[in-house]
């Protein structure tokens, strides 16, 4: 389990306790967080689960795969060095307290 805090572009902050193995995208879409769409269901094929990871925690997350890096080319909002796809980040105790910010647009 890990408590993950989602900060939407509006400033709305929501913290969710995610079971191990759940993706950060699943956590958002099943809890009504509007800033993540997740249109492809988590198969790294839509880039509508773009998020900005707290830079100080990037080292706690497995690096992006080649496929994720390619999909990050297609995000609607500004791509930043801490841009990731939330469907590719899986909850684990290592992520406890992680904060991610969501862009204003996903498509």
Summarize as ranges the residues that interact with ligand FES (CB under 6 A): 25, 38-40, 42, 44-49, 71, 85, 87
The residue among 7 and 38 lying less far from ligand FES, judged by its C-beta, is 38
The residue among 15 and 67 lying less far from ligand FES, judged by its C-beta, is 67
Q: What pairs with residue 17 in β-bridges?
A: 3
Coil, strand or helix at 32: coil
What sections of the chain are H helices per DSSP? Answer: 24-29, 66-71
The residue among 11 and 98 lying less far from ligand FES, judged by its C-beta, is 98
Q: How far is CA 84 from the centre of its chain?
A: 6
Supply the minimum distance, in Å, between the C-beta of residue 76 and ligand FES.
Answer: 12
> In terms of Cα–Cα distance, which of 39, 55, 54 is closest to 87?
39
Supply the minimum distance, in Å, between the C-beta of residue 24 and ligand FES.
Answer: 9
Supply the minimum distance, in Å, between the C-beta of residue 70 and ligand FES.
Answer: 11
The residue among 19 and 41 lying less far from ligand FES, judged by its C-beta, is 41
Q: Is 8 exposed, middle or buried (0-12, 13-18, 19+ CB in 10 A)?
A: middle
């Amino acid at each position: 389990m890990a408590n993950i805090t989602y900060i939407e572009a509006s400033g709305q902050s929501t913290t969710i306790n995610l079971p191990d193995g759940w993706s950060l995208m699943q956590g958002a879409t099943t809890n009504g967080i509007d800033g993540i769409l997740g249109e492809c269901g988590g198969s790294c094929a839509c880039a509508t689960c773009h998020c900005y990871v707290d830079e100080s925690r990037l080292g706690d997350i497995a690096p992006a795969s080649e496929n994720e890096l390619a999909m990050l080319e297609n995000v609607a909002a500004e791509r930043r060095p801490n841009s990731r796809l939330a469907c590719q980040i899986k909850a684990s105790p290592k992520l406890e307290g992680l904060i991610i910010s969501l862009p204003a647009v996903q498509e």
